């Protein structure tokens, strides 16, 4: 059984697991929305609606990974150093994706030609897909193990990072993000777009459940032998399966979203529980495993950071919840119609200030 005691190291391990859950649930849906953009957006207005569903949120969501990264740096410097240098190429792809993605959201609407917007849409698709896949590869690699020597140095090459098990792990996060994004879009849009989002979530749910089941079984039989984490993973797979049933219902997108979010939470948490007390398994020798104890900061730093985290997290969770409450309304096409190409391009040619879009009187979207 897992030998568990709540010391500072364990607290920080759990805190990081929490950041990862927060990240993969929250950025998970906005990655999903980004990937579905070209498939669900039939025209520019649709695509604007889709992007605006995550508009107020994606930036705040992304901070979860920044905090997970910085928290790892502060609490487990050796883990941070070994992980980031070992996963150099995947992290390069991830970080470049996140850079381009942030800029793409902001710049897409700043110019009116179809080519400009089309290029940024493609960029949003690719830069949502790559991190969604690669984070799963990296996280499952921690468990699967990569070559690490007695000095905590990675001694493998790129192909040690993309083992079949890790690739399945990547597919898990990819499909879960897609599903989460589809369900989120169903919850946040109206009419045709909402229907399309619902249809696609019904198709995605069994795929996500299947991939997760394969991963859970592989983890149980192939990689580790603990009972509890495997149970967590199985619950997660069941949850993804449950989303199938729920998505076929009519008015329950909120509940479906909750189930998918819990699925991601269970899957990620299952992985972390499985990992504990290791943080990175060495495939070279068990003695070389990085653990929460041999890679952590001193007690003083851990204590300071624990106080800071306990003080700040409730506040952060509160105001992030506020944004979701403020922007709880569905986003509809009506908000954007009339804001389109023609107006902008005439203004462009005349080189004058963009006139006010001839807005139809639209009722504020309500739920």
Partner 1 sequence: MTLDILPLADAALDISRWQFALTTIYHFLFVPLTIGLAYTLAIMQTFWLRSGDEQWLRLTRFFGKLFLINFAIGVATGLVQEFQFGMNWSEYSRFVGDVFGAPLAMEGLMAFFLESTFIGLWVFGWNRLKPGFHLATIWLVAIGTTLSAYFILAANAWMQDPVGYELVNGKAQMTNIFAVLFNETALLAFFHTMAAAAVTAGFFVLGVSAFHMRRGQDVQAFGRSARLAAAIVVPATVLVMLIGDDFMRNMVNRQPMKVAAAEALYDTETKAGLSLFAVAPLEANPGETTVNVKIPYLLSVLATNSFDGEVIGINQLQAQYEQKYGPGDYVPPVGVVYWGFRGMVYIGGLLMVIALWAGYLAWKGKITTNRTFQKVAIWSIPLPFLANTAGWIYTEVGRQPWVVQGLQRTADGVTTAVPVWQMGAALGTFIAIYGILIIVEFWLLKRYAQRLPDPVRDEAERSEPVPAMSY
65-67-69-70 Cα dihedral, nearest 10 degrees: 160
DSSP class per residue in 8-31: HHHHHHHHHHHHHHHHHHHHHHHH
Cis previous bond, 277, omega within 30: yes
Least distance from partner 1 to the Cβ atom of residue 54, Å: 9
Least distance from partner 1 to the Cβ atom of residue 73, Å: 4
Least distance from partner 1 to the Cβ atom of residue 289, Å: 17
* Three-state DSSP class for residue 290: strand
Return all residues near 246 (Cβ < 8 A) that are at least 6 apart: 252, 255, 256, 259
CA pair distance 302, 280, nearest whole angstrom:
19
Tell me if 205 sits within 8 A of 244, measured CB to CB. Answer: yes
- Distance from chain centroid for Cα 123: 17
Return all residues near 96 (Cβ < 8 A) that are at least 6 apart: none
Cβ-based nearer residue to partner 1, 205 or 302? 302
Cα–Cα–Cα angle for 175, 104, 315, rounded to 5 degrees = 70
Return the structure tokens found at 112.
């009116």
Least distance from partner 1 to the Cβ atom of residue 59, Å: 4
Least distance from partner 1 to the Cβ atom of residue 193, Å: 16
If one counts every other C-beta atom within 10 angstroms of the C-beta of residue 226, the result is: 17
Cβ-based nearer residue to partner 1, 106 or 345? 106
Least distance from partner 1 to the Cβ atom of residue 166, Å: 18
The H or E element that residue 126 is part of is helix 114-144
Tell me the sheet residues that pair with 280: 290
Cβ-based nearer residue to partner 1, 5 or 298? 298
Cβ-based nearer residue to partner 1, 147 or 206? 147
* Three-state DSSP class for residue 167: helix
Cβ-based nearer residue to partner 1, 29 or 154? 154
Cβ-based nearer residue to partner 1, 91 or 267? 91
Cβ-based nearer residue to partner 1, 90 or 169? 90
Least distance from partner 1 to the Cβ atom of residue 362, Å: 7
DSSP letter (8 states) at residue 291: E
Least distance from partner 1 to the Cβ atom of residue 237, Å: 31
CA pair distance 348, 342, nearest whole angstrom:
10
Cβ-based nearer residue to partner 1, 191 or 225? 191
CA pair distance 235, 267, nearest whole angstrom:
8
Phi, psi of 279 (to 5 degrees): -120, -25
Cβ-based nearer residue to partner 1, 26 or 275? 26
Least distance from partner 1 to the Cβ atom of residue 42, Å: 17
CA-based end-to-end distance of the chain: 48
């Amino acid at each position: 059984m897992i030998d568990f005691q709540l010391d500072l190291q364990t607290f920080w391990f759990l805190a990081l697991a929490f950041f990862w859950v927060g990240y993969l649930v929250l950025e998970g849906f906005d990655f999903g929305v980004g990937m579905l953009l070209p498939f669900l957006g039939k025209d520019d207005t649709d695509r604007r609606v889709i992007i605006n569903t995550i508009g107020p949120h994606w930036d705040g969501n992304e901070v979860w990974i920044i905090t997970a990264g910085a928290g790892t740096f502060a609490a487990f410097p050796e883990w941070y150093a070994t992980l980031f240098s070992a996963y150099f190429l995947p992290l390069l792809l991830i970080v470049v994706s996140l850079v381009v993605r942030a800029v793409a959201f902001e710049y897409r609407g700043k110019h009116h030609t179809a080519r400009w917007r089309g290029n940024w849409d493609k960029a949003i698709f690719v830069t949502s897909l790559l991190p969604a896949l690669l984070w799963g590869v990296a996280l499952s690699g921690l468990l699967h193990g990569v070559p690490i020597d007695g000095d905590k140095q990675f001694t493998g090459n790129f192909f040690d990072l993309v083992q079949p098990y890790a690739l399945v792990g990547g597919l898990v996060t990819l499909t879960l993000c897609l599903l989460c994004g589809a369900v989120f879009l169903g919850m946040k849009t109206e009419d045709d777009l909402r229907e399309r989002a619902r249809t696609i979530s019904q198709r995605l749910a069994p795929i996500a459940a299947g991939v997760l089941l394969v991963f859970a079984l592989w983890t149980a039989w192939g990689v580790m032998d603990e009972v509890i984490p495997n149970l967590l993973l199985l619950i997660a797979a069941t949850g993804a399966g449950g989303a199938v049933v729920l998505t076929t219902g009519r008015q329950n997108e909120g509940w479906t979203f909750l189930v998918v979010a819990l699925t991601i939470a269970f899957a990620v948490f299952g992985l972390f529980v499985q990992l504990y007390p290791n943080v990175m398994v060495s495939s070279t020798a068990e003695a070389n495993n990085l653990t929460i104890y041999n890679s952590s900061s001193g007690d003083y730093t851990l204590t300071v950071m624990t106080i800071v985290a306990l003080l700040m997290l409730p506040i952060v969770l509160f105001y992030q919840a506020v944004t979701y409450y403020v922007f709880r309304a569905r986003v509809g096409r009506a908000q954007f119609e009339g804001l389109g190409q023609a107006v902008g391009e005439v203004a462009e040619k005349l080189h004058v200030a963009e006139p006010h879009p001839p807005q139809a009187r639209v009722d504020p979207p309500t739920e």
